[in-house]
Amino acid sequence: MQEARTTSYWRFAIPAALVIVALGSLSGYLSNSGYSNGWFEGLRKPSFMPPGWVFGVVWTTLYTLMGLAFAFVWLAWPSRLRRNALRLFHAQLLVNLAWSPIFFGGHMIDIGLVTIVILFGLVALSAWHFARIEPLAGWLLVPYLAWLCLATALNFEIGRLNPGADAMNLGLFGG
């Protein structure tokens, strides 16, 4: 990257990352996510559930990486591919921000699982499109995909371990 481009990248990337971190934090705060949520605290958790503090560290890191990836694509030469990549990114971000209110706020385990599966698909498509524009931008989303694999397994296991705890049961766990 040329020096002028590098400077303009960081001038955009840092605010983009801060905005995405703030949006993720706001979604979690407004939906009372985590162990401070009485409903969640009372649920049985899978044996592979990380400690509560890990979620804040991981999500802050992932949101920061998303902002850095977004900046690469936003600053790329305008094209149909770029426009589609940005649309996918915005779609995945909206679905991401909806998950905490669905799961923690609405106590909807089944709908949370469906949401996170959709989210995984949107992130995978975003990463693929981003990589076609700037390979590093695609790679920056890979840790997010890995974490979503764990988050999906956690969501699934919480549903399986807590039949009857879902406020809007779709019957995914027989409850």
What average pLDDT values come out for the chain (175 residues) when binned by 10 residues?
A: 68 95 96 92 96 95 98 95 98 98 96 98 98 97 98 97 86 65
Contacts of 13 (CB under 8 A, 6+ apart): 67, 68, 70, 71, 72
Q: Which of 119, 118, 109 lies closest to 173 in space, CA to CA?
A: 109
Q: What is the pTM of this model?
A: 0.92
How high is the pLDDT of residue 97? 98
Token pair for residue 60? 């802050």
Q: What whole-number distance in Å separates Cα of residue 44 and Cα of residue 159?
A: 9
pLDDT score recorded for residue 173: 65
Q: Which residues are CB-neighbours of 74 under 8 A, at least 6 positions away?
A: 12, 16, 86
- The domains located in the chain, with CATH, are 3-161 (1.20.1260.100)
CA distances from 21 to 16, 67, 116 (A): 9, 8, 19
pLDDT at residue number 170: 76
pLDDT at 175: 54
**How high is the pLDDT of residue 132?**
97
